[in-house]
Amino acid sequence: MKMEDIARLAGVSKAAVSLALNGKGGIGPETRDRILQIAKENGYRPKSRTAAREPQNASITFLVFANSGIVLEQYYQQPFFRELIHYIEERCRASGYSLLFSSVDMSAFEDGIRAIAEDQRAGGVILLGTNLNKALLAKVADRLNGPLVVLDTCFETLPIPFIQINNVMGAYQAGQHLCGLGHRDIGYIASDIRIRNFDDRRAGFMQALEENERELSPEHVFSVAPTILASQDALKKRLSAYRESKRPMPTAFFCECDYIAISAIKSLVELGYRVPEDVSVVGFDNISEALIVSPELTTVHVEKERMARLAVDMIVEAIESDSLAGSKVLVDTQLIARGSSRSPGSGSARDGGERRSLDAPAFPRGRWRARRKPAKGSRFGPVREAVE
């Protein structure tokens, strides 16, 4: 009788069996009693553990390689990562584990890996892989001794467990939303620092435009810093130059993340545009600040809590069973429609004292209406898992 057999008989995960047998939290009393009863009836005998190993297994390390690009040195203050860490801490606590934090400067990558590998305090590592490429992730996996799960990126050919946002799906949903509202001249505001997440988002957005017989004009593509929540002079200068050239402004912009979307809204407003009357804006990530900006931001919701739960449960299972399945989990997204997007109308913006139409009507005005209702459906989206 193995833990896998108990899990199958009880109709639960192997991680739940591990929590029950080790007297840890994270599962309900009825589930715990059912698991223990099945184990007893089938004569299950857990492996003995050495006393020296228990303290090591009581902790999980959250590892970050910081740089000056996407993952800053104060990453824990960045809204997306702050929310993700909060959920990871909650899940660790519920599972009976403490969470250790380790941050390594990218300029000291090799020394940082060596120090983490020599640190025996934690039984497993959850690595934030947002800003790491395939080669760097392979190095980390090769040097670390214990179980490793990588969050927020995925490389299909690496034999490493990944938990990743379905970035293609999320940006596709954003594109479908804008096309469904009737927008034809759609712009794109990208990050000037490129990571795989952003490349996948662009691919999904382009797929939506293609299916709706729209094209993204190269002159409608702008780029900005991805970690600034204020208006950006560089973007304002480019938008001003575009307006002065007498070319019609896109009626909507998709932004590769909420930071960029909030920055874009502030930049557009400072230039005299109204959001969403003149220009609609859609972001990605659904950070808490999306509800603070005015108007509230239409964005793609990322299941940060679900990603955290999956990562912690995977590490706990590996610690408790001395094995880690090579699986890659793709967590689907959900579009949240709020006040920053609406159908294109006959709105106008002031330009040197003159009123300029932003777009010619494509349908009778009476058929236009803003989508204000929140998206329906359960809190958590579906999960797809490919097991190697």
- More confident of the two residues 32 and 86: 86
Looking at residue 18, the DSSP 8-state letter turns out to be H
Sign of CA dihedral 357, 359, 365, 368: negative
Report phi then psi at 65, rounded to 5: -105, 110
Residue 124 carries which side chain, given as an amino acid letter?
Answer: G
Those residues whose C-beta lies under 8 Å from the C-beta of residue 371, and which sit 6 or more positions away, are 177, 180, 181, 337, 341, 342
Pairing of strands 327-331, 383-387: antiparallel
Residue 110 has pLDDT above 80, yes or no: yes
Pairing of strands 252-255, 354-357: unpaired
Residue whose token pair is 């407003």: 269
- Please answer whether residues 222 and 234 qualify as being in contact, where contact means their C-beta atoms are separated by less than 8 angstroms: no
- Please answer whether residues 83 and 122 qualify as being in contact, where contact means their C-beta atoms are separated by less than 8 angstroms: no
pLDDT digits (tens, 9 = 90+) for 6-47: 877 888 776 677 777 776 555 677 788 888 888 877 877 665
The span from the CA of 32 to the CA of 169, in Å, is 37
- More confident of the two residues 26 and 141: 141
The span from the CA of 179 to the CA of 186, in Å, is 9
Name the token pair of 367.
Answer: 């058929």
The span from the CA of 62 to the CA of 296, in Å, is 32
Q: Helices (H) and strands (E) in the chain — how many of each? A: 12, 15
Mean pLDDT of the chain: 82
pLDDT of residue 26: 56
The residues that bridge with 221 in the sheet, in sequence order, are 188
Those residues whose C-beta lies under 8 Å from the C-beta of residue 379, and which sit 6 or more positions away, are none
The span from the CA of 149 to the CA of 113, in Å, is 15
pLDDT digits (tens, 9 = 90+) for 326-360: 789 999 999 999 999 999 974 544 333 333 333 33
- Domains of the chain are 3-41 (no CATH), 53-165+303-331 (3.40.50.2300), 167-284+338-372 (3.40.50.2300)
Work out the pLDDT band at 280, boundaries 50, 70, 90: very high
- Please answer whether residues 273 and 240 qualify as being in contact, where contact means their C-beta atoms are separated by less than 8 angstroms: no
- Please answer whether residues 124 and 149 qualify as being in contact, where contact means their C-beta atoms are separated by less than 8 angstroms: yes
- More confident of the two residues 144 and 324: 144
CA quadruple 83, 87, 90, 96: dihedral, nearest 10:
-140
pLDDT of residue 49: 39
User: DSSP labels for 34-90?
Assistant: HHHHHHHHTT--PPP--TTHHHHHTEEEEEEEE-SSSS-TTGGGSHHHHHHHHHHHH
pLDDT of residue 376: 41
User: DSSP labels for 306-371?
Assistant: HHHHHHHHHHHHHHHHT----EEEEE--EEE--TT-----S-EEEETTEEEES---SS-GGG----
Work out the pLDDT band at 309, boundaries 50, 70, 90: very high
Residue 73 has pLDDT above 80, yes or no: no
Those residues whose C-beta lies under 8 Å from the C-beta of residue 360, and which sit 6 or more positions away, are none
